Amino acid sequence: MMTVPVPGATVGVVGGGQLGRMLAEAASPLGVDVVALDPTPDCPAVPPATAQVTAAFDDAEGVRELAERADVLTYEIELADPDLLESVAADADVEVHPTPDTLRTIQDKLVQNRALEDAGVPVPDFTAVDDADDLEAAFDDLGSPLMVKARTGGYDGRGNAPVESVAEAREAFDGLDGLVAEELVDFERELSVIAVRGDGETATFPVAENVHEDEILRESVVPARTSEDVREHATAVARDVLGALDGRGVFGIELFERETDDGTEILVNEIAPRPHNSGHYTIEGCHTSQFEQFARAVCGLPLGATGLRGPAVMANILGDPDAEKRPADLAGAPDALAKPGVSLHWYGKREVRPLRKMGHVTAVGADRETLLDRARAARDATGFE
């Protein structure tokens, strides 16, 4: 392993959104600098990140400059280009974590599902779809509606749609090639586990329960309101997922909890090769946040303690559906901060877009139901969605 000097290391991160921003906030105490590559000038990560390379995620010159300024490369967005990262890192003699191979696996949902299946990790039944015949066969085998996903290019629920007919799929995906069809899981709960691989060690964070609306995460409740057995089961599945992926880093693993006649099943829904929205609660909720772990992991430092300090609820703050608000319209921030035990994280985005993630609040210091009420009330108080 190449040595990353701490303090004094610079992490080069492809993507300068809120994940890069919270990485930089967490890296600063460790004496680790962050340089972010992002096409948007004044991206959310900078400051607190030291500097920005303003370039497209797949811009060779930009990624080369990033590598030259960094001791290790990583990414906070799946749209990073694994081939480019691999070649540039080799030239600059730095490592990329998680590995470009892992990024390739995760970028293609069909490859991802097959890799998980090969590793013995439970996933929803799935099949590749490249034309109408494939899709018809999928309806026959896996039922209707199906959850259809674009193999590549989707993230955070984008590029996914439940469909009941070939025509519907054709409209949703602008054609039928490069898709994967999955059984639509009738789940009890959506759970997630943030799993981490460091230098020769792994760790998992407590299991979160995720409340989605229209495929967008609204709240995470921790610990998940299910049985201890199910939480242990979910954690074991997350560890198995980690076993199927290479390289140091943080992985957000989304899971379905499904009741069957044979008991509770845990199925892997999605994997993100980076810190995940459903792990934001770790900043206030755990001894070490997912962002500090990210910095520790990619630098090859020992991982921190992942224990839960107490129940925590995170609620996302989203742009209004018509995007009529401006960032400065967060006039309700004081009201949000007045709720007991509530922290605000504002991402510094220059522009509101419909349902764009603008920030989040986390509530700690009480029981989960009280915290859920407080987090929602704080979010509502901001005036955003």
Which stretches of the chain bind its own copies, using CB under 8 A? 5-8, 21-22, 24-25, 28-31, 33, 47-50, 284, 287-288, 292, 296, 300-302, 304-305, 307, 309-310, 327-328, 330, 333-334, 337-338, 340-346, 348, 359, 364-365
Residue reference for tokens 């995906």: 173
Tokens standing for residue 28? 């600063």
Minimum separation from the CB atom of position 347 to its own copies (A): 8
Please indicate if the annotation marks 190 as binding a ligand.
Answer: yes
Is there a binding annotation on residue 324? no
State the minimum distance, in angstroms, from the CB of residue 254 to its own copies.
Answer: 24
What minimum distance in Å lies between the beta carbon of 229 and its own copies? 25
- Residue in the block written with tokens 């069909």: 110
Nearest C-alpha neighbor of 364 from the set 338, 335, 340 = 340
In whole angstroms, the minimum distance from the beta carbon of 36 to its own copies comes to 12
- For its own copies, give the closer residue by CB, 98 or 341: 341
Closer Cβ to its own copies, 157 or 365, answer by number: 365
Using the minimum distance from each CB to its own copies, give the nearer residue, 212 or 326. 326
The distance of closest approach from Cβ of residue 370 to its own copies in the complex, given in angstroms and rounded to an integer, is 13
Residue 311: CB minimum distance to its own copies, A: 12
Cβ closer to its own copies: 137 or 338? 338
332 CB-contact burial (10 Å; exposed 0-12 / middle 13-18 / buried 19+): middle
Dig out the tokens for 343 from the structure.
Answer: 């922290």
185 is an annotated ligand-binding site residue: yes
Check: CB of residue 119 under 8 Å from CB of residue 240: yes
Residue 280 marked in a binding site: no
Q: Residue 293: beta bridge partners? A: none
DSSP state of 207: P
- Say if residue 183 carries a ligand binding annotation: yes
CB of residue 320 to its own copies, shortest distance in Å: 16
76 is in an annotated binding site: no
Q: Which long-range contacts (CB under 8 A, 24 or more apart) does 318-321 make?
A: 318/216, 318/355, 318/356, 318/357, 318/358, 318/384, 318/385, 319/352, 319/353, 319/354, 319/355, 319/356, 319/358, 319/384, 319/385, 320/352, 320/354, 320/384, 320/385, 321/354, 321/355, 321/385
**Helices of type H across the chain:** 18-27, 60-69, 82-92, 100-107, 109-118, 132-142, 166-173, 228-243, 282-285, 290-299, 333-337, 368-381
Residue 270 annotated as binding site: yes
66 assigned ligand-binding residue: no
Among residues 35 and 166, whose Cβ is nearest to its own copies? 35
- Choice between 49 and 70, CB closer to its own copies: 49
**316 labelled ligand-binding:** no
Would you tell me how many other CB atoms lie within 10 Å of the CB of residue 336?
26
φ/ψ bin of 300: left (φ > 0), alpha (ψ from -120 to 50), beta (otherwise): left
* Least Cβ distance, residue 217 to its own copies (angstroms): 18
Q: Name the residue nearer to its own copies (CB basis): 1 or 120.
A: 1
Helix (H, G, I), strand (E, B) or coil at 63: helix
Q: Which residues are annotated as a binding site?
A: 109, 149, 182-185, 190, 212, 269-270
* Annotation: binding site for ATP: 109, 149, 182-185, 190, 212, 269-270
